[in-house]
A and B are shown apart, each in its own frame.
Chain A
Amino acid sequence: MVSESEFGETKEFIDGVFTRPLTSKSSLLGCKCKSCGKTYFPKKKLCTNCLSWDNMEEIALSRRGKIFTWTVSEMYGLPSSSIGYVDLPEGIRLFAKFTECDPPEKVLKIGMEVEMVVQKMTDPFGVREFVGYMFKPVESRKGGGNE
């Protein structure tokens, strides 16, 4: 429901991928096999671990993870972009953009703890606008806190 989103009518990068209400503190929705407990993102029907079909429960994924690897991508005619893979405690690895990390070459580190921010963004070519996620260093916020 549109009224449940602080981002107006802008669609998520995958429909229904975030928890409601849709805010900057929303979580990604994955699924967990009710038979064997294996988690997946995005949601799917087949558990490839135990071959159960359509036996998943929806789960909200952690909003914190650790940087597996990162780089700063410079594309012709486009602003530079800090990107990388983030490992969540559920065993999910996400491809992500980083924010609040200037200069990235000094700030970002493999193994660093990062926190998810849900926000309005565009694809690299500035064509498609969507509600997606970025990660920012936890250290940049005082105390870290619990989510």
Chain B
Amino acid sequence: MKKRVAVVGVGMTKFSKYYDKDVKELTEEAVWKALQDGNMSPKDIQVAYCGNAVPGVVSKQAGILGQIALMPLGIVGIPVSTISNACSSSACGFREVYFAIGSGHYDVGLAMGVEKMVMRPEDATPANIAMASKFLSLGADGELENVYGITFPGFFAMAAQRHMHLYGTTREQMAEVAVKNHHNSVRNPYAQYPYEITVDDVLNSRMVSYPLTLYDCCPMTDGAAAVILASEDVAKKYTDTPIYIAGTGQGSGVYSEYAENPEMCMTAFQPTIRAAREAFKEAKMEPKDIDVAEVHDCFTISELIHYEDLGFCKKGEGGKLIDEGVTELGGKIPVNTGGGLKARGHPVGATGAAQVAEIVWQLRGEHPNQVDGAEVGLAHTLGGLTHADVAVSVVLILTRK
């Protein structure tokens, strides 16, 4: 990268169910908070990317959602692009802004994400619910998988079955992920479900997709999150605590078709392995250098698999890692210190930007669950399905030095 790039402002809405707020209102609040955080005006933004994964049915906008959502802020005229890349949408946008500034083309840019997933009660007719469910499941191969009823919980339940089969991972170990993340959310003012749960709560909740129950799954959420980036020299004009981007990586699914080892499909996600390799290489770092991480816990089993793919432990030892407390507050690599997708909530297109906000707060020393002396943080998102693999993953490494 020609220029060093830093995060100068972050902001997000509380993640919740907003029957009465649309994408404009949610975006307005998140971006305004990020601008205030960076002591900036909307006029300072030179380029913007808007992540939104499920346009249409619930968001009631598609294609140019970014331009619509940013209108109330007067962020108009400049290049605005909408990125729809499943759960990694705004993380991909963050990467594009990083490239746009790092290349020297722009000095200041906005990466934000917004998602409406919850319908107004009067809109929640069986036909609309069916249409929304159908739209979500179109994040898989329509011709080969969608028609036979693949779902996201179904996919990760099948991943859990493989992980249990190959490595002896237990339901209790999966449940510990949900217990940890709910515990972390209690002090997070932005969290959708900030309350404690127990392993028994997870094991005894309603079955969603065998063996995963309701508390193994992240919720449906509305919300927005925003991150403002600037080149190093410009960043120092706005903030005394710039948080630098050390490395980024992105990968796409390889399907069963192109997998080097088809037996490893669904217990190792190739996009994450690739993205992590790329990000660590650029950052000239290793997994042991990470002080705090945001890891894509869309389902409890996902977080365990990602520990392995990110290099926090060996393949098959994700369950052991959580048993040993390595990823809890006070452990060596606290993961999802704000509650993760599980308890903070998962407004799909906004999640990548929200993860960056959490890491920035940690590296500035402002987080409600502050990790002492955190200097390097990692954010990881993943989403979409490509026949026994996931479709996209992004890894971002940030540093305060």
Given A69-B162, A71-B161, A72-B210, also A77-B126 (CB < 8 A): yes
Q: Check if B210 sits within 8 Å of A105, measured CB to CB.
A: yes
The answer on a CB contact under 8 Å between A83 and B154 is yes
Question: Is A93 on the interface with B (CB-CB < 8 A)?
Answer: yes
Q: Which of A74, A93, A97 contacts B256 (CB 8 A)?
A: A93
The answer for the CA separation of A81 and B209 in the assembled complex, in Å, is 9
* B209–A97 CB distance below 8 A: no
- Residues on A with C-beta less than 8 A from B153 are 73
Residues of B within 8 A of A48 (CB): 257-258
In the bound complex, residues from chain A placing their C-beta under 8 Å from that of B157 are 71, 73
B266 at the A interface (CB under 8 A)? yes
B interface footprint on A109-147 (CB within 8 Å = 1, 0 otherwise): 010000000000001110110101000000000000000
Question: Closest A-chain residue to B160, C-beta based?
Answer: A71
Write out, one digit per residue, whether chain B residues 131-166 have a CB within 8 A of any chain A CB (1) or not (0).
Answer: 001100100010111111111011001110110010
Task: Check if B262 is an interface residue, CB within 8 A of chain A.
Answer: yes
Q: A74-B209, A95-B150 are in contact. Are A13 and B158 (CB under 8 A)?
A: no
A70 and B387 within 8 A (CB): no
Q: Which among B130, B158, B207 is the interface contact of A69 at CB below 8 angstroms?
A: B158
A29 close to chain B: CB less than 8 A: no
Check: A89 CB closer than 8 A to any chain B CB: no
Across the two chains, which residue of chain A brings its CB closest to B157? A71
Interface centre among A93, A128, A130, A132 (most CB of B within 10 A): A93
**Shortest Cβ gap from B149 to chain A (Å):** 4
Contact of B388 with A by CB under 8 A? yes
Cβ contacts under 8 Å, B149 to chain A: 73, 75, 81, 83, 97, 123-124
Shortest distance between the CB of A24 and any CB in chain B (Å): 17
Q: Is the CB of A130 within 8 A of B147?
A: yes
Is A125 a contact of B133 with CB atoms below 8 Å? yes
Residue of B with least CB distance to A134? B148
| Inter-subunit contact A132/B147 (CB<8 Å) | yes
The residues of A that contact B387 with a CB separation of less than 8 Å are: 93, 95
Nearest CB of chain B from residue A77's CB, rounded to whole Å: 7
Task: Please determine whether B148 and A83 come into contact, CB atoms closer than 8 angstroms.
Answer: yes
A83 to B157, CA, bound (A): 10
**Is the Cβ of B207 less than 8 Å from the Cβ of A77?**
no
B residues within 8 A CB of A91?
262
Q: What sequence of 0s and 1s flags, for each residue 65-97 of chain A, a beta carbon within 8 Å of any chain B beta carbon?
A: 000111111111100010111010001011111
- Chain A nearest CB from B164 CB (Å) reads 9
Q: How far is the CB of A13 from chain B (nearest CB, A)?
A: 5
User: Which of these, A70, A81, A93, contacts B388 with CB under 8 Å?
Assistant: A93
- Which residues on the A side are within 8 Å of B130 (C-beta)? 77, 125, 127
Residues of B within 8 A of A128 (CB): 147
Please determine whether A69 and B266 come into contact, CB atoms closer than 8 angstroms.
yes
A14: B residues at CB distance < 8 A: 143
- A95-B137 contact given A69-B162, A85-B388, CB 8 Å threshold: no
| CB contact under 8 A between A73 and B209, given known A85-B158, A95-B144, A123-B146 | yes
Inter-chain CA distance A70–B165, complex, in Å, is 11
Q: Which single residue of chain A is at the shortest CB-CB distance from B267?
A: A69
Instruction: Give B208-226 as 1s and 0s: 1 = Cβ < 8 Å from A's Cβ atoms.
Output: 1111100000000000000
Interface residue A42 (Cβ < 8 Å from any Cβ of B):
yes
A76 CA to B124 CA in the complex, in Å? 13
Pair A74/B148 contact, Cβ less than 8 Å? no
Whether, in the assembled complex, B374 has its beta carbon less than 8 Å from a beta carbon of chain A, the answer is no
Contact A13 B147 (CB under 8 A): yes
Could you list 28 A-B pairs, sorted by A, with CB under 8 Å?
A: A13-B147, A42-B143, A42-B144, A68-B388, A70-B158, A71-B154, A71-B210, A74-B207, A75-B149, A75-B151, A76-B133, A77-B129, A83-B150, A85-B158, A85-B388, A91-B262, A93-B388, A95-B150, A95-B388, A97-B149, A105-B210, A110-B165, A123-B147, A124-B149, A125-B130, A130-B147, A132-B147, A132-B148
List residues of chain A with CB under 8 Å of any chain B CB.
Answer: 13-14, 40, 42, 48, 68-77, 81, 83-85, 87, 91, 93-97, 104-105, 110, 123-125, 127-128, 130, 132
Chain B residues near A (Cβ < 8 Å): 126, 129-130, 133-134, 137, 141, 143-151, 153-154, 157-159, 161-162, 165, 207-212, 256-258, 262, 265-266, 387-388
